[in-house]
Amino acid sequence: MQSTKLNAQITAVGMYIPEKILDNKYFEEIVETNDEWIVSRTGIKERRKMENGATSDMAAYAILDLLKSTSVKPEEIDVIIVATVTPDMFFPATACLVQDKIGAKNAWGFDLSAACSGFLFALQTGASLIESGRYKKVIVVGSDKMTSISDYTDRNTCILFGDAASAVLLEPTEDLNMGLIDTLLFTDGSGKDALNMKAGGSLNPASHETVDNKMHYIYQDGKAVFKVAVKGMADISYEVMKKNNLESDDVAYLVPHQANLRIIDATANRMGISKDKVMINIHKYGNTTAATIPLCLTEYYRDGKLKKGDNLILAAFGAGYTWGAAYLKWSID
């Protein structure tokens, strides 16, 4: 029997933003920096810090927020994919903790580690489970507590990151011109030395020495990453647009990962997309790693700026290196 072809579409969204705000003034007091440098070099004005809870808590809050907007019950969820590089623990997977916290008693799940490209990688993975016909309700949540691995004496990195979570629900549609239509995803492990957290894994297990040498924090060679990120994200976004015969006028929004406003601007320029068609939240939240893209989608949707059928290009670049872009047709009224 010929099985029906399916696409995965986003049918609900949700988010969680911690209350505590760290503004640029806060960083002026703890490291040698200033508001003007941070805003002009990155676009960031504020970020959030999760004070009472971990990555699984933020993910669970985001999913519960999502569920409030639907008639879907937690026990109907088939799969939970948590994109994160700041899991609560090495094991069990954060997805297990989230499953328990939201009462999704019939779900299985796993964590996916692709840093700032985590949401895109998880979105494609979740969509494949839907397209197989085997699963009907897949939650993809990007959740990162970046403040837990930020060195607040290193001005190169501590000003960049914040905490947040955001989730989408994927469900099948027989309309193959709806939902996730195409993705291009890549990894290049030769970029491992430019952006990483060196210790805590099997290569450098935790020891007094790894703690003394600050090896449990984010390390980034900003200049090196900037160079590849700016080209990588712009090229892949342009490529996915062209591959799907889209002109810039056909695109309702570019939804870029929020690492640096200059990288976002370069991507929009390459695609010929004007600033008003680029989703931005970096000024409010900084780089929230796997949460940036679904957070943008959730906030713009709730602000009434997205309508069913809108063509969206999602794009990301992150540690690994990992990068990719997706063509998504928005499917919520």
Q: Interface with ligand COA includes 226 (CB under 6 A)?
A: yes
Say what the alpha-carbon torsion angle 79, 81, 82, 87 is, to the nearest 10 degrees: 80
Beta-strand relationship, 108-112 and 79-83: parallel
Alpha helices in 132-278 (DSSP H): 155-158, 208-212, 222-243, 261-271
**Cβ distance to ligand COA smaller for residue 7 or 196:** 196
**Cβ distance to ligand COA smaller for residue 41 or 136:** 41
Q: Interface with ligand COA includes 263 (CB under 6 A)?
A: yes
Say what the alpha-carbon torsion angle 185, 255, 156, 226 is, to the nearest 10 degrees: 50
- List b or e across 109-118, with b for residues whose CB sees 16 or more CB atoms inside 10 angstroms: bebbbbbbbb
Active site residue 213: no
Least distance (Å) between residue 167 CB and ligand COA: 21
Q: Are 116 and 287 in contact (CB under 8 A)?
A: yes
Position of tokens 């696409």?
A: 7
Q: Which two tokens stand for residue 76?
A: 């109907």
**Rule CB under 6 A: which of 33-92 touch ligand COA?**
33, 37-38, 41-42
Which of these segments, 32-40, 90-98, 168-176, 240-248, binds ligand COA (CB under 6 A)? 32-40
Q: What is the DSSP-derived secondary structure letter of residue 168? A: E
**Rule CB under 6 A: which of 148-167 touch ligand COA?**
155-156, 159
- Residue whose beta carbon is closest to ligand COA: 222
Q: Interface with ligand COA includes 187 (CB under 6 A)?
A: no
What is each CA distance from 209 to 142, 194, 260, 311, in whole angstroms?
Answer: 32, 21, 33, 50
How far is it between the farthest Cα atoms of the chain?
67
Phi, psi of 89 (to 5 degrees): -145, 165
Say what the alpha-carbon torsion angle 8, 10, 14, 16 is, to the nearest 10 degrees: 60
Phi, psi of 311 (to 5 degrees): -85, 120
Which of these segments, 6-14, 30-38, 56-64, 201-209, binds ligand COA (CB under 6 A)? 30-38
Q: Which two tokens stand for residue 33?
A: 């920096």
Task: Count the site residues for ligand COA by CB under 6 A.
Answer: 20
Least distance (Å) between residue 31 CB and ligand COA: 7
The one catalytic residue in 158, 257, 260, 281 is 257
- List b or e across 204-218, with b for residues whose CB sees 16 or more CB atoms inside 10 angstroms: eeeeeeeeeeebbbb
| Among the listed residues 232, 318, 320, 324, the single contact to ligand COA using CB under 6 A | 318
**Cβ distance to ligand COA smaller for residue 175 or 188:** 188
Least distance (Å) between residue 316 CB and ligand COA: 8
Least distance (Å) between residue 297 CB and ligand COA: 19
Least distance (Å) between residue 115 CB and ligand COA: 7
Active site residue 257: yes
The one catalytic residue in 116, 196, 260, 296 is 116
| Among the listed residues 122, 140, 199, 229, the single contact to ligand COA using CB under 6 A | 229
| Residues belonging to the active site | 116, 257, 287
Residues that bind ligand COA (CB under 6 A): 33, 37-38, 41-42, 116, 155-156, 159, 222-223, 225-226, 229, 259-260, 263, 287, 317-318
